């Protein structure tokens, strides 16, 4: 079962992020939705969409986004299982940035 999804989404200006987040939050298994706009163009907005819940259906999320004119660019994170495992920084993470 999926507990958290982080998606990079391309959306039109309408519907608004408020309308989009409310629509996603009403889907079965979804307990919370965050949408952060990180780029605005004349026609579209790029957004990070974070969805959390106990049993998220990726297909339901994708279908709702498409119904509202949005497209998933990438799936940036998926957390599944009995609990969410948080990312842990390691020495390799620090050396990779040098």
Domain ranges across the chain: 2-96
Supply the pLDDT for residue 79: 95
In this structure, what token pair is assigned to residue 78? 């998926």
**2-96 belongs to CATH 3.30.830.10:** no
Which parts of the chain are beta strand (E)?
A: 2-12, 30-40, 44-56, 71-80
The DSSP letter of residue 62 is H
Q: What is the pLDDT of residues 41-64, one digit of tens each?
A: 988 999 999 999 999 999 999 999
Indicate yes or no: pTM above 0.75.
Answer: yes
What does the mean pLDDT of the chain come to? 92
Can the peptide bond before residue 9 be classed as cis, meaning omega within 30 degrees of 0? no
**Please, are residues 55 and 5 in contact by the beta-carbon 8 Å criterion?**
no
């Amino acid at each position: 079962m999926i507990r958290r999804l982080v998606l990079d989404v391309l959306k039109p200006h309408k519907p608004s992020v408020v309308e989009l987040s409310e629509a996603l939050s009403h889907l079965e298994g979804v307990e919370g939705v965050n949408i952060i706009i990180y780029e605005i163009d004349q026609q579209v907005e790029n957004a990070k969409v974070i969805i959390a819940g106990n049993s998220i259906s990726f297909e339901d999320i994708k279908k709702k986004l498409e119904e509202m004119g949005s497209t998933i660019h990438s799936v940036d994170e998926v957390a599944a299982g009995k609990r969410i495992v948080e990312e842990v920084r390691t020495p390799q993470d620090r050396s990779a940035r040098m």
